[in-house]
Amino acid sequence: MNSRPLPPGTIFAGYRIERVLGVGGMGTVYVAAHPRLPRRDAVKVLSAEFGADPEFRARFGREAELAARLDHPNIIGVYDRGIEHGQLWIAMRFIDGPDAATLLRERALTPHRVAHLVTGVARGLDHAHRAGMLHRDVKPANILVESIPGQPDRVAVTDFGIAKAAAATTLTQAGTILATVAYAAPEQLTGGAIDHRADVYALGCTLYELLTGAKPFPRTSVDAVIAAHLHDPPPRPSAMAGELPRRIDDVIARALAKDPQRRYASCGELAADAARALGVAADQVPVVGPRPARRRNTGIALGVVAAAIAVIVTSVVVLKHDSTEQSTAGSTSTPSADPNSWAAHQWVVDAFAGLLPKTQADSGYQGLRCSAVDGSQRPIDARQTRESLNSLACNGDQNPVFRLVIVCGTDEPADEFVSTAGSVLVGEENWQRPSGSGHARWNDKEGVAGPTGEILLEFEGSTRDKCVIGVSGGTSGQDLYDRWWRDAPV
């Protein structure tokens, strides 16, 4: 069968081919116009020999269906798949940008950019692992990068489903292993049991290459590369690039441990350790892991303590240093003639425009309906301010937010929310958006109706640094992060 690239204008599986996006060992990727929707997709047409193998076709169909269920910003979404003129194809979300291998060929990447790329990839991979899906072919060529003016690069992993289907068959290509040998874990090469830590190993190999420009085990033959993965000690990035700190050597050594038990337990742990080892500032690259305690104007540092905030479907409680009841402070604004105005709380609504409802009669982001409350979450008149705090409690549409509470100090910053007792930290990051910056952490916990999640937010700069937000909802902390926090207008 003719395997030459399809020329522009060709109609393939209903798509109109616009141009070749890339050519790899498994096939050709095109930018193609969707047959019915006003959008462009990336359509990968696999080489003819894959379509001719019945076992591969069956596995490809099953894995593509599983991959289509992976809904995450750092994973290229799968839209459709099929077979046309004997060739398997898969339609995916189109990212208008190069892959990381192309970036590396064009220029050396800074440690900051490498940390950002690896962090994004790690998030996507960990999401897939939680869904029971492995990639099995993590490498720079499968990391797509889109530059967005004024924002960090958008990073996404591609070829989920294709790699796994290929690795699960006995099909070979020119007598070699289908998994890219340069990044394959020892257990992949020996036919051993494989779990998510094979992807951790491949991400470690990818990290090494992004930092040094070289593959971790460059050898003169495939057999020699395989032998190096199985027997040679992990390479030291600092020996290849003298400007790199030696601490990154330890990160690579752990990621590339021969024994999966000695590797990082997740890709997120690897990315976090890499960022710290590279000395990338916490406010520049989102990482998962410990952070310094936030300091208040009073000079008292608040960290994770035994006391907890109860963030459940029905309530969110803010813990204060001074637990005694304080008298009601005077209103910070004059009474308003409009009963639906936010009155004393208007400055809070203005600071989070887009998130909170414009008036008490309106709804905010994802249907939030809010009311002014005191420190015990009891409704109060919006013209009142209690305990030098402005507090709003909001009910969400339960898809995914159940409850959101925002607390802002009128004079000093509100104390940060403390994680619910018994909750499990899933991740945390220092974030930066056009609206400002701050810190977020998200937890898994048990709610009254079963497993759920919580996100606790802090802010830096302008008047927002006096505010904290607690959110509960979703089926887990990561689910709430993915479906609310990533796109929330905060």
Closest to 107 in 3D by CA, of 215, 252, 210: 210
Q: How far apart are CA 209 and CA 139, in angstroms?
A: 9
Exposure string of 403-430, with b = 16+ CB inside 10 Å and e = fewer, is bbbbbbbbeebbbbbbbbeebeebbbbb
Active site residue 374: no
C-alpha to C-alpha distance for 188 and 214, rounded to whole angstroms: 21
Structure tokens at 37: 């929707």
Cα–Cα distance between 319 and 418 in angstroms, integer? 7
Sign of CA dihedral 446, 447, 450, 454: negative
Place of tokens 């919580």: 454
Instruction: Take residue 392 and report the two structure tokens written for it.
Output: 């709003």
Q: How far apart are the first and last CA of the chain?
A: 53
Q: Which of 41, 99, 137, 415 is catalytic?
A: 137
Q: Other CB atoms closer than 10 Å to residue 472's CB: what's the count?
A: 30
Specify burial of residue 338 (Cβ count, 10 A radius: 0-12, 13-18, 19+): exposed
What letter does residue 179 receive in the DSSP assignment?
A: S
**Residue 98 tokens, joined:** 């190069």
DSSP summary character for residue 459: E
Taking the mean position of all CA atoms in its chain, how far away is CA 448?
A: 27
Catalytic residues: 137
